[in-house]
Structure 1
């Protein structure tokens, strides 16, 4: 099979092919990341009144916000069920991807995000009925099944095609393009909702998931064709057949510590972003819903702007373990400022965006350094599972802290402070695991702090496939 003009096959040994794969790989989760945080932008609408026939009051105005009538606990359950579902599914998904290949996974899991987002949007048409919450939770359940698994696939495709050559750059670009979906969500969703309503807004997210589904099909074709032209398809199939569940026992202590570090860091970031818009409106004077959404989105704005530069820097200097530690430590002041001061919230969200950018570019590219390529999907699945267990559990705790009543008025500030202190404690745990990770890594030869050249050599030792391809390394 060949692709290209005039029936000339694409030269998979050229850089342009790798970056063509990367371009479509970046599209795979764009739509799902847009959909994931729609509830965060429209929190007032999700928790608003079913009707506005009676005089009610919102945070900073005397106008009624018509919405779906959810309580804060029910709202946080939308995030919790997505996280818990991802936590369960990605373990099995990672193993299946290792056994059956990227093409199978890309089709199945991108389709699940489309189906889940469609059911979620459909549920919004049943407001005021007993069917609303079950339908929306079912949609988030299916959506979570696909969304987390797509992250595994993106990282697996990136790890193969970039093999320590611009790996941090490629990973950062993949994450940042996914986060572009989140950024556009924070910028445009509220405005779209004001013109067309919450139902059409949710269906718009579904349409974006369909576009990502098409991108996933293209990546699948490019990946299959490229592997065949490199002559590695038989070796990959053979290696995949040898993958066993028992291989988990051979994962290193470094991997498990990195796993915990990712769990704590992302739990803190995701759980803050989920409620940040309403938190800003309730605590700080003069911020309406739109402004609060923009400020919350600054976390992902930074990741979008800094991604390429941060990725290139880490590819050049290595020092992933050290950067993971620094990101953990430097995130502590963010939540301390939010919990105990009235420093403008934009300072905290921009600060968090910078540490998030460096953390994402340091943590995820470290996983292929610590595990063989054949079990990379399983390792990614375990990592995402731990991450989502942390997020899901914390979302449930946050929902309990903030209360079970509909939040038409302000949630008391002491409740918000308790929530931020909880996230601060989680970040402290992240610091502790990052210290342990660096200590163990140093004893094991400093794998995480190597430069990209030495990392490539180390990865080739882990994977027979990469060793076979060493002489035809992608330009």
Structure 2
């Protein structure tokens, strides 16, 4: 029994301040009610994971219902892709403001609840647009949904740091990412089936069926809001018991820092934008692609379109560990981008079983995220990290908004083959940027491609 208590205490280690507070906390609380105990923190972790489930589930509602949205709302692909563009536009700015609002204005608890409410409101407006046959209302709903979605992810990360700062934090981030991908996967495979059931119940397809389907899908956002309220209560309670402060995002945003960004960092930004614009817009349009080119049924097309997220859920933590153990970030990014290029070429120019290409795409997508994003921390000092990551997310969302519209226009006028060629061109630009980054890093003696051993040796030299 004493050994179990000792193990629980070791898992609860965080900062020295938190340790000191914990020692002064009452010891008579039951295990599940004591914020110091592992069982209690596992409950908190479960709530954190489900906090973003609704947002990720509803983000790709348009993709899962692409055929139905275009038919019932009588819109072409260009207008359909505006549903993704309107999500991204507010996040061109909010990537800078989300952390500030949580740290300085709302606090983590109120911030999480407010952003969860905004996500719910956005999904409701989106669904009402279908019920009332008003596409402009659906666009407004996606805009409101976008305001809450990315900022909610920032709040989720702030909670993770507040409760699990220390050796468990990377695992917690991995679990949160896995849950978000599970949300996207469930959406891809559930919404089409749900639409069919509601269509059979109402007796005919139409905008009302679409709106009701989206409204039912919004229940996941309400579940996430309930998790936000529960987390707020538990966090406030832990603050009183342990005398700890509210969590912070750690983001310090100073736009003046942008002028200090190096060439290598700008190349990382280019890699990020050119890569992701060939992933998310493709998934947004992928279901009909698999139906038209490969003759898949609607349900099978949804399944293969979601395989990128299915693979990402378990493989992201695995690849994260691999990159942590080996280093060589540029080489891993190069492998990921090259594999993505091969995947898109297979989809564009062959009739091979698309499961091969999509599984490869899922693996490469997972690997790139683990290898690319940490490189920012190697290129800027700690006090500029908030600005660098905020700017990276901002231009990523700008690229996604623009490319979503452009992809819809290409598909309407030229078809899927030219659209795939366009995605291949984007990934090729990303690949060129990776090669250029390798050369710049090598010429300037940078540490982006160091092995883990080399980084440890460099850290020792700096501390001497």
TM (norm. structure 2) is: 0.79
Distance 2:233 2:258 in 1: 30
Distance 1:6 1:166 in 2: 19
Give the drift of 1:263.
Answer: 1.9
Change (3 A) 1:140 1:365: same
1:112 and 2:135 correspond: no
Name the stretch that deviates more: 105-114 or 151-160: 151-160
| Residue 328 (structure 1) aligned to one of 312, 334, 337 | 337
Segments of structure 2 that go 5 or more residues without pairing to the other structure are 1-20, 199-208
Provide the residue aligned with 1:309 in structure 2.
318
Change (3 A) 1:118 1:97: same
1:131-163 deviation line (CA, Å, top 9, x unaligned): x11110000001111112223334455467666
Provide the residue aligned with 1:77 in structure 2.
82
1:124 and 2:124 correspond: no
1:210 and 2:222 correspond: yes
Does structure 2 retain, via aligned residues, the 8 Å contact 1:255–1:367? yes
Provide the residue aligned with 2:141 in structure 1.
139
Distance 1:211 1:235 in 2: 23
Give the drift of 1:77.
Answer: 1.2
Change (3 A) 1:334 1:30: same
SS of alignment partner, residue 268 of structure 1: coil
Change (3 A) 1:386 1:244: closer
SS of alignment partner, residue 89 of structure 2: helix
Change (3 A) 1:394 1:6: closer
Distance 1:219 1:311 in 2: 27
Give the drift of 1:447.
Answer: 5.2
Give the drift of 1:417.
Answer: 0.9
Report how many residues are paired: 424
Does structure 1 retain, via aligned residues, the 8 Å contact 2:158–2:247? no
Distance 1:321 1:183 in 2: 29
Give the drift of 1:312.
Answer: 2.9
Give the drift of 1:437.
Answer: 3.7
SS of alignment partner, residue 143 of structure 1: helix
Distance 2:297 2:266 in 1: 42
Distance 1:419 1:392 in 2: 16
| Residue 60 (structure 2) aligned to one of 21, 37, 46 | 37
Change (3 A) 1:87 1:228: farther
Change (3 A) 1:22 1:427: farther
Give the drift of 1:361.
Answer: 2.5
Does structure 2 retain, via aligned residues, the 8 Å contact 1:95–1:375? no
Change (3 A) 1:83 1:340: same
Give the drift of 1:176.
Answer: 1.9
Provide the residue aligned with 1:56 in structure 2.
none
Distance 1:235 1:180 in 2: 26
Provide the residue aligned with 2:153 in structure 1.
151
1:265 and 2:275 correspond: yes
SS of alignment partner, residue 211 of structure 1: helix
1:330-366 deviation line (CA, Å, top 9, x unaligned): 1111111111111122221111111111122233444
Provide the residue aligned with 2:173 in structure 1.
171
Segments of structure 1 that go 5 or more residues without pairing to the other structure are 49-66, 405-413, 462-475
Give the drift of 1:166.
Answer: 5.8
Name the stretch that deviates more: 142-151 or 220-229: 220-229
Provide the residue aligned with 1:61 in structure 2.
none
Change (3 A) 1:203 1:162: same
Give the drift of 1:106.
Answer: 2.0
Distance 1:36 1:395 in 2: 14
Higher relative contact order (CA 8 A, sep 6+): 1
Distance 1:107 1:235 in 2: 15
Does structure 1 retain, via aligned residues, the 8 Å contact 2:83–2:139? yes
Change (3 A) 1:42 1:8: closer
Give the drift of 1:302.
Answer: 0.8
Change (3 A) 1:168 1:327: farther
Distance 2:282 2:63 in 1: 10
1:207-226 deviation line (CA, Å, top 9, x unaligned): 11121123334455666777
| Residue 5 (structure 1) aligned to one of 23, 30, 40 | 30
| Residue 363 (structure 1) aligned to one of 369, 372, 394 | 372
